[in-house]
Structure 1
Amino acid sequence: MRHGETLWNVEGRLQGRGDSPLSDCGIRQAGWLAHLTRGIDGFRVSSPLGRADQTARIVFGDRFRHDARLSEICVGNFAGHLERDLRGRYPDLFRGGDLAWYDRCPGGEGFAALEARCRAFLMDLTGATLVVTHGITLRMLRCLALGQAPAHLAQGVIHQGGIHMIRNGAETVMRHVDDV
């Protein structure tokens, strides 16, 4: 699951390891996730970053753990800045694939490091696990769990307020009836 919408998401501001609280819509999305996960068994884990923790507390109550490997990709010097401003200031950096620029953020983490920590997280799983994380990290986890190369990171949609279930090499997206 991706955390609920944040105030910075609404503004188009890059978060990375920075943080912003959930918007009213994000709180509603977390409530949908709580409804969708009711009755699903498994280990419950969340990124420790505030927006994911806030979502996890709504979804799981206090029955979950944090794992720093689920933190969002670090966008370095771009954290807190509006994406549209950065695109205007650094057009060359934003050339290429839809998400390729995440690998080129000044002072950022890059995809190789993100892939390594996501692989390590997945290797440690011993059974069904419910995860609250972030958009780019969820994309990487999905690629790895589906046996796809990270080059496929930009494919598909990541839904805030929806569950991306990976089972037996296939993805199913569960969405609340009010999620339109």
Structure 2
Amino acid sequence: MRSFPELYVLRHGETVWNVEGRLQGGLDSALTARGRAQAARQGEILASLELYGFSGICSPQGRAAETARIALPEVLKLSYDPALREIGMGDWAGKARADLGDVGKGFDLYEAAPGGEGFTALARRCAAFLEGVQGPAVLVTHGITSRMIRTLATGQPIEMVREIGGGQGCVYHVAGGVQKRID
């Protein structure tokens, strides 16, 4: 298994579209009050850690950038990388899951989205990103992209993206191929 630098991985806080059950992909929706509180909680977690020598790398999408502004300590040098954007949802971006019928209820929709990115392409994008990370980093990204980065960094096959766990308001620590959730 390839060894990657130590990572702390954050998903953006809850958005209006998360509450509405809409797929965001490359589109954006503002954080809710709960989402801003989740980002603040992530900031508390990060403040309790020794982050000397870490960089901060964030998706350029608005919901992730807002989360980073709230959660990341000012001591981290922050950069933005489009490789951390959310999985592309193609024609289904902005659609409500409920409008997609049974396919909208699980992870299969990320593979089925017409014009979408799919897991294989996302895995290639995330693997290339991880290969370029030069040292320990705090990453601020999105639900599915976070899962894929953690899947790859723990040496699991991409199908495990469905099983690796997720959530907002927490921080995932990945080091030596092992993931730990910090609440």
Per the normalisation by structure 1, the TM-score is 0.89
Identify the residue that residue 35 of structure 2 maps to in structure 1. Answer: 26
- The aligned runs of 1:2-151 (5 Å cut-off) are 2-38=11-47, 39-41=49-51, 42-60=54-72, 63-87=77-101, 91=102, 94=103, 98-151=106-159
Cα displacement (A) at 1:60: 2.2
Q: How many residues in Structure 1 have an aligned counterpart in Structure 2?
A: 169
In structure 2, the CA distance between the partners of 1:167 and 1:61, relative to structure 1 (3 Å rule), is closer
Instruction: Give the CA deviation at 1:50.
Output: 0.5
**Whole-Å Cα distance in 2 between the matches of residues 136 and 40 of structure 1?**
27
What do residues 64-112 of structure 1 show as CA deviations (whole Å, max 9, x unaligned)?
Answer: 110000000010111111101112xxx4xx29x9312201201111112
The residue aligned with 2:7 is none
Unaligned runs of 5+ in 2: 1-9
Question: Which has the bigger relative contact order, CA under 8 A and spacing at least 6?
Answer: 2
CA distance in 2, matches of 1:172, 1:110: 26
State the partner residue of 1:154. 162
Amino acid at match of 1:142: R
Q: Structure 2 CA distance, aligned partners of 1:128 and 1:40?
A: 11
Q: Retained in 1: the 8 A contact 2:43–2:73? A: no
Contact map agreement 2:12 2:140 (CA 8 A) in 1:
yes
Letter in 1 for 2:128: A
Report SS of the residue matched to 1:173: strand
The CA deviation string for residues 11-60 of structure 1, in whole angstroms up to 9 with x for no partner, is: 10110011000000000000011111114321101000010011011112
Give TM-score, length-normalised by structure 2.
Answer: 0.88
Q: Percent identity?
A: 41
* Unaligned stretches of 5+ residues in structure 1: 176-180
* In 1, Cα distance between equivalents of 2:107 and 2:15: 20
RMSD: 1.6
Distance in 2 separating the partners of 1:40 and 1:32: 16
> Which aligned segments of 4 or more residues in structure 1 are displaced greater than 6 angstroms?
none
SS state at 2:87 partner: coil
Counterpart CA distance in 2 for 1:137 and 1:35 is: 23
SS in 1 for 2:12: coil
Checking the alignment, whether the CA contact within 8 Å between 2:46 and 2:73 is kept in structure 1 is no
Task: Call closer, same or farther: CA 1:119–1:44 in 2, change over 3 Å.
Answer: same
